[in-house]
Amino acid sequence: MTPTSPVPPYPTPRGLLTGKTVVVTAAAGTGIGFAVAKRAAEEGGKLLISDFHERRLGEAADRIADEAGVERPATFVCDVTDEQAVQGLRDASLAALGRVDVLINNAGLGGEVDVVDMTDDQWNRVLDVTLTSLFRMTRAFLPSMYAAKTGVMVNNASVLGWRAQKGQAHYAAAKAGVMAFTRCAAIEAAEHGVRINAVAPSLAMHPFLAKVTTQEALDRLVEKEAFKRPAEVWEVANVMIFLASELSSYMTGEILPVSSQKA
């Protein structure tokens, strides 16, 4: 199908994160995590990126340095379902960066299975990676932000936290939890000068999604989009950068859709 709105030019950096330190989880590969890490570097942020896959993480750091023309980001291998690893990521971030101004929580896990066929392991794994890891990361990084009386967290939710899709009960429940957690944590954090918001993408295309989703399913999802095309991952990253920057200084506890879906 022909898009009604073509992909716009890649954004010109504006220095939105100049002087800021940024930690990004699930930043390896080709998805939103890598895109937002690269955009943060382009906007002047000093980075530490994390992922559970060591080789891909190193490759991502090299790519960011090369493509953004910046110092190679620090890296830390972390399984966000492991509390000790999360604490290690926090300690490594503070050691490498001195402080953490922005934490971008991008880790998540999907899959397609009907409720009647879903095992406890499938349910628990998706919720652990997508929702419980967010709790672990937030709990680990908030104290240093509270002490500094400043800081920003940006979480990655999904429109499926609001909308129904067959085979996505575990993922949708986890993402709805991300939204609720974001709102409640933000009210607590506001007392300490810290902001917490989330984005809710509808459909962002990248090679991994294409590999795990049939073309027929992708075509159905694209048909629901008003622009008749998926978002580029950097279009989602742009909104995350906005939430990380001072341009969103009065926003907290908000879930910002990145979507062109029809009403």
Which among 92, 99, 101, 27 has a CA at the least distance from the CA of 64?
A: 27
Give rounded-to-5 percent helix, strand, coil for the chain.
50, 15, 35
10 is catalytic: no
Going by C-beta distance under 8 Å and a sequence separation of 6 or more, which residues neighbour residue 147? none
C-alpha–C-alpha distance, residues 59 and 176, integer Å? 32
Q: How many CA atoms lie within 13 A of 145 on its CB side?
A: 30
Strand ranges (E), 2-150:
21-24, 46-51, 74-77, 102-105
Annotated catalytic residue: which of 10, 146, 171, 250? 171
CA–CA–CA angle 113, 117, 121 (5° rounding): 80
Which among 204, 208, 206 has a CA at the least distance from the CA of 258?
A: 204
- Residues known to be catalytic: 171
